[in-house]
Structure formats: C-alpha cells, structure tokens
Amino acid sequence: MRTIRVIGIGTGDPEQLTLQAVRALSEVDAVFVLDKGSEKADLVALRREICARHAKAGLRFVVAGDPERERRPADYAGTVEAWHAARASLLEALIADELGAGEVGAFLVWGDPALYDSTLRILERITARGRLAFACEVVPGISSVQVLAARHRIPLNRIGAPVHITTGRRLAAGLDPEADSTVVMLDADPRFDHLDPELTIYWGAYLGTRDEILRSGRLGTVGPEIRRVRAEARARHGWIMDTYLLRKPGAE
C-alpha cells in the first residue's frame, strides 16, 4: 500500500525541522507540492532546499498548480468547499500517477498540519471517495504561533488565563470577551480601529526567514505602523504571511 506523510516543516527556517521530521523525510520517495504561482516561488524553493538537505537520493519532486479560488467571496464557506473539492481531485490523480505501490509520498506543510492547514482535510476527502487507498501518517511541526512567542520572548498565555486562536475574518466581529490573549492568523488586511487601543500587540511576518519583521507595543500606537510596514513588505515580496497576538491590559 502507498503511504502519505504529512510533515510539518516550521515557518521558514530549515533548522526548525524536528528530528522526527528529518527521519520521516529521509524515507520519502516523492514530495507533492501545490505551486501558488511566481509570487510565492520562495515557498517552493524552501521545500526544495529542505529536501536537498534531508531527503534521500532520487527523490521525485512533483509540482502542480494550486486550483484558483476567489479571495474575497460573498459565500466564504461555499468557496472553500469548492476549492477543497478541486484540490482533492488534483491530488488524487497525482498520487495515483506518481506514487507506486509500497512507496512513500509526502506533503511538506508550513508550520503544523493541525493548525489552519487544509492538507489533512483534503486527504480525508480522497480516502472517503474509496478509489485510492493509502496509509496516512502525520508529523507535527513548529507553528507560527510558537515562533511568534519565541521571537518576542513571551509566554503565549498569562498565568491561569485562556488563549483564543482565531482568524482575521472572525476578528472583524470583535474579540472574544472571555479571552485574555488572542492569536490572530490568516488576516489578509489587518484593521484595528474597532479594537481597544490599550491592547498590547505582538506582531510578526515572515517568521523564521531572513525577511522576518517584528513589532510590538500598545495597539493604538503601533497599529498604524504595522499596517504600513505590512503593506510595504507585501508589495516588495508579492506575498506575506504574518500572525499576531493581542493581549488585554493587565499584569503579566
């Protein structure tokens, strides 16, 4: 039977791979990559670098264009559903064509496969169709949330207090009143005007890479600077991946 390994590779630093991830990759016959276009060529290049360091000789690097999806849809859930269905069809065909019986394939997932990544859901769809059988193994990785806290030299939570992880889309409705600390991911256009300016923000972009940018401070003070720096960086690179932590005023 074929085996598919979903391997977390951290946020951009090749040294963030765990020993388990290195060992898992060393046994892989083919790596599958969805190419998001020339603007994000750096993401494919990093995966090639990781494979050059840790994969066995003769590894096959299988690249296919990622299906397009609307970025600001009126029906977000419906758009994501259609996108996942398209991805599942594409990957099912790639695995069937490019991975032989008894071979091991891998998807190298940015951060950790369990946190805001669709790879496991896509593989579940393929399995549910019943046309292609494979074993699935998951290797955890270092997430952007962990790297953000490490770079700012802070614990993610305060003593006995909760942490809420959400998306920029959800943040538009406001913070969860029960959350002392809120991590925000996938925020395509951060806007802070509706939030308490006394919140503390810890922001990071391109975490773990040579282009890493960090800002922190009172939201009302550094919020406008973060928006400006973020826009400049996105224009310069053609893409950006960032995350941030919002913390209520209070004792640390």
| Domain residue spans of the chain | 2-139, 144-247
* Residue 223 burial (CB count, 10 A): 21
Q: Residue 200 pLDDT more than 80?
A: yes
> Quick one: average pLDDT of 186-191?
90
> Quick one: average pLDDT of 240-244?
95
* Residue 219 burial (CB count, 10 A): 21
Given the structure tokens 């939201």, which residue do they identify?
Answer: 219
Tell me which amino acid residue 215 is: R
Predicted confidence band of residue 27 (pLDDT cuts 50, 70, 90): very high
Predicted confidence band of residue 38 (pLDDT cuts 50, 70, 90): low
Indicate if 144-247 has the same CATH topology as 2-139.
no
Torsion of CA 154, 234, 42, 140, to 10 degrees: 30
Q: Give the list of residues 6+ apart from residue 252 with CB closer than 8 angstroms, or none.
A: 158
Model pLDDT, residue 79: 79
Enter the CATH code of domain 144-247.
Answer: 3.30.950.10
What is the fold, at CATH topology level, of the domain defined by 2-139? Cobalt-precorrin-4 Transmethylase; domain 1 (3.40.1010)
Predicted confidence band of residue 250 (pLDDT cuts 50, 70, 90): confident
Residue 179 structure tokens: 């959350």
Prediction pTM value: 0.89
The DSSP secondary-structure symbol of 111 reads: B
CA R_g for the chain: 19
Distance CA 200, CA 219 (A): 5
Residue 203 structure tokens: 């922001």
Q: Residue 77 pLDDT more than 80?
A: no
> Residues 69, 80: contact at Cβ < 8 Å?
yes
Max mean pLDDT among 46-50, 63-67, 113-117 falls in 113-117
Distance CA 213, CA 152 (A): 11
Q: 27 vs 32, 138, 146, 237, CA distance in Å?
A: 14, 14, 27, 33
CA angle 82, 60, 56 (to 5 degrees): 130
Q: Summarize pLDDT for 110-163 with one digit per residue, the tens.
A: 999 999 999 999 999 999 999 999 999 999 999 999 999 999 999 999 988 889
